[in-house]
Structure 1
């Protein structure tokens, strides 16, 4: 997928609509508010399921002096603070999203790689429980559903 064609999935609204709300979110995670952090979190809020490289492209448009390494550093800090979630679909680059803490899952198109959020099938986390937990205290389950998105189904039917 090209960097200019960033898919935006209809995930749950994140409630951050102004720069001050983005800054407050960073502060509430006990992190210092910096321009790169503001730019990365704003981009993640408006464009869910985005790779670090795609984020770099978005952030660099606002902050030309930003480096890819700086974006990775911001993502690591945000991940440690619980502000972002890293999603790693098989065969694709890692994606980052702002929707955290609800143990939701993902639908991934096997043709175009678009990613959509899907709520837990059962409700509350961990949503799925292993038959034998080997003594673990399970607190989350990750599920990825693979298939064809509606647009790709239409495209293939037209062939």
Structure 2
């Protein structure tokens, strides 16, 4: 993954630093991670991550988000979450009880999958949709209460 991370960074015109590679690697297989999740995951390899501090982590996340290598989502009542799945117009399901977040592909397939009644002069290129409810486990637990 480290070589892939390095290649991705260079393609986006970013320097391939140990900190940026560590964050991209920590996100691999862990979608919807918070900064705290990433800090914990990277914490065991802090030396390999170039001594990444908490502020450094936030700076890296901002750089990666701006370069569209990482997507930041901010469900209401939840800290910002980060994922590697970018540019594919997907949406999210969020469980109100346990906070589980699942990706949902857009049924239309092209961005934006919704258009506003009035665009007010905006060139709309993306729609962000979050559905809220109970995941299957929480729904089953609620039924048993």
Common fold, TM-score beyond 0.5? yes
CA RMSD of aligned residues (A): 1.2
Q: Aligned-pair distance for 1:134? A: 1.3
State yes or no: 1:21 paired with 2:7.
no
Q: Say which of 58, 69, 81 aligns to 1:95.
A: 81
The residue that corresponds to 1:15 in the other structure is: none
SS in 1 for 2:44: helix
Q: Say which of 56, 66, 91 aligns to 2:39.
A: 56
Q: Aligned-pair distance for 1:156? A: 1.7
Q: Say which of 34, 52, 64 aligns to 1:78.
A: 64
How many residues are treated as equivalent by the alignment? 142
Q: Say which of 115, 136, 144 aligns to 2:130.
A: 144
Instruction: Name the TM-score, length of structure 1 as normaliser.
Output: 0.85
Q: Aligned-pair distance for 1:121? A: 2.5
Structure 2 residues without counterparts, runs of 5 or longer: none
Q: Which runs of 4+ in 1 moved over 3 A?
A: none
Following the alignment from structure 2 to structure 1, what is the Cα–Cα distance between the partners of residues 28 and 130?
21
The residue that corresponds to 1:13 in the other structure is: none
Instruction: Name the TM-score, length of structure 2 as normaliser.
Output: 0.92
Alignment check: 8 A CA contact 2:98 2:138 kept:
yes
Alignment check: 8 A CA contact 1:36 1:59 kept:
no
Following the alignment from structure 2 to structure 1, what is the Cα–Cα distance between the partners of residues 77 and 89?
22
The residue that corresponds to 2:141 in the other structure is: 155
Q: Which has the higher contact order (CA 8 A, sep 6+)?
A: 1
